Structure 1
Amino acid sequence: MSQDPQARLEAALPHAIRRIQETPGVLGILWCGSASRGEAQDGSDLDFHVLVKGDRRWRRNFVLDGVPVEVFHNPARELRRRFADDDGDTLQMFAEGKVVLSHPELHELILEAQQRVKAGASPRPITEFERLAVLEGVMDTRAQVSAPIHVALVMTFLVRHVVRLLYRTRGWWEVQEKHWLRDLETRAPDIAADLRLALTTHNPHERQSAFEALALRLTGDFVYRDVEGERRPVP
């Protein structure tokens, strides 16, 4: 019988922490992700944010006894820059993560992230060029509704544009794609229902209809407008 995914990752946790601590300049370590919340599944890995000295940031991946480990190394000023840029993924990880190597500045960052998450993001309206990208996605997918490529086109526009813009324009902290449905079922059940249909139906016309319902929440209508960008000098 295979080992429970959560137990398997927790067994590898001390070894991963020791290996991370061997890296010069490590100040503090935050355990993040599904396993830190006790929600590991098959395919889950160990995720860490590491506070480091200096002015360099980097990502590192390694494997311990078959357990993938992903480590993000950042100095404090880079993390604060991400917080200021409303990087929802980083904010959520710091707000929810567990400290496994303590450092005063790491605790300050966690408190800042928790306060920002609690306050909520600032809604940012869709730009005319973003609206145009969504509108072109609707027209492109309409033209291919009977083609095998339709499902891939819809998924691409959903992931690259529509769902991310729905989060941003409403002032919601964005979550990873795999958590969209669960998160939206709490925030906006009507949006979650349309997204679930777009992702799961085998009927291309139902898929297109659900996709357009999501897009319409951003565009207001499907009418083209005049758009002119900023004129910039050619180097």
Structure 2
Amino acid sequence: MPAPSPTPRNPAAQASLEGALPAALARIAATPGVYAALWCGSAARGEADAHSDLDIHALVTGDHRWRSSFVAGGVPVEVFHNPARKVRAMLAQPDHATVAMFAGGRVLLPHPDLDALFGEARALYAAGPAPRPLTPAERHTLLDEVVEARAALTEPVHPLLVASAAGRLVRALYAARGWWEVKPRVWPRDLARRGAPEAGLLHAVLSEASAAERQTALEALAFSLLPGGLDYGESASEAQTVA
């Protein structure tokens, strides 16, 4: 499971969020149908910053799921209400965000159903997702984005095209390597933690001053992922029925 930080990233924000927990939990527990609650996200891991909120997964009876948000103790709260069977289905997909949040969560309102889901998520997180190599069609699409950025090298839109292509490449990298997805703002830190050389390439994409240097870094990032480099090959998408 995600290891908690030894100290909060922002102690004042962490303290504020933890102080709001009793009021938030009281409101959630009073919601009809709620019978269990798990505190998730950065604050639950002790990693809160000034932009963090309280993320709570609540198990509910019945056949409906919904999201709600409110303010408690001066901090924003977001609650994901789901029947236990829906959470189990999301874990089985697997839905990366749900696996990570449950694996790193802290029980607020205990129940055997929550204990079971918590254990399933921890086991899934420890095993990691199955690697998913690029399909030929996906490779073609990524290559198109890199080449499109190269074609706009001298245009003002170049930084936007480079950033968009880099984002798609990094997402594809996580899928191909069998890594759990993380939020984009965590990519540099997470790649560095993994010792991935792509961390340096992503930093260069985001920080190089000249368009030529940005493009060079982008293409190096693409080379690390795209079999055959930047040469087009044969590809075809899946056939779809036309209505």
Range class of TM-score, shorter chain: over 0.9
- Runs (4+) of structure 1 exceeding 6 A deviation are none
TM-score, reference length from structure 1: 0.93
- One-letter identity of the residue aligned with 1:93: M
The one-letter code matched in structure 2 to 1:192 is A
The partner residue of 1:123 within 131, 136, 141 is: 131
| Structure 1 residue identity aligned to 2:203 | R
CA distance in 1, matches of 2:82, 2:164: 30
> Unaligned stretches of 5+ in structure 2?
1-10
Range moving further from structure 2, 128-137 or 55-64 = 55-64
Among 184, 187, 194, the residue aligned to 1:187: 194
CA-to-partner distance for each residue in 1:42-61, whole Å, 9 max, x for gaps?
11111111111222221111
Larger displacement relative to structure 2 (148-157 or 98-107): 148-157
CA distance, structure 2, for counterparts of residue 112 and residue 99 of structure 1:
14
Question: Which structure dedicates a bigger proportion of its chain to helix?
Answer: 1
8 Å CA contact retained: 2:166, 2:205: no
Deviation track 1:185-221 (CA, whole Å, cap 9, x = no partner) reads: 1213311111111122232222212211222222121
TM-score of the pair, normalised by structure 2: 0.90
1:150 corresponds, among 142, 148, 158, to 158
Report the counterpart of residue 9 of structure 1 in structure 2.
17
Do the aligned partners of 1:9 and 1:46 also contact (CA within 8 Å) in 2? yes
Task: Confirm whether residue 63 of structure 1 aligns to residue 43 of structure 2.
Answer: no
Q: In the alignment, does 2:148 pair up with 1:165?
A: no
Structure 1 segments unaligned to the other structure (5+ residues): none
State the 1:158 CA deviation: 2.5
User: 1:200 maps to which residue?
Assistant: 207
Is the 8 Å Cα contact of residues 61 and 68 (structure 1) preserved in structure 2?
Answer: yes
Cα deviation code 1:24-56 (max 9, x no counterpart): 111211101111122211111111111112222
Percentage identity across paired residues of the two chains: 48
Contact 2:54 2:77 in 1 (8 A): yes
Q: 1:153 to 1:31 in 2, by over 3 A?
A: same
Aligned length: 232
- Tell me which residue corresponds to 1:213: 220
Structure-2 separation of matches of 1:61 and 1:143:
44
Partner secondary structure for residue 36 of structure 1: coil
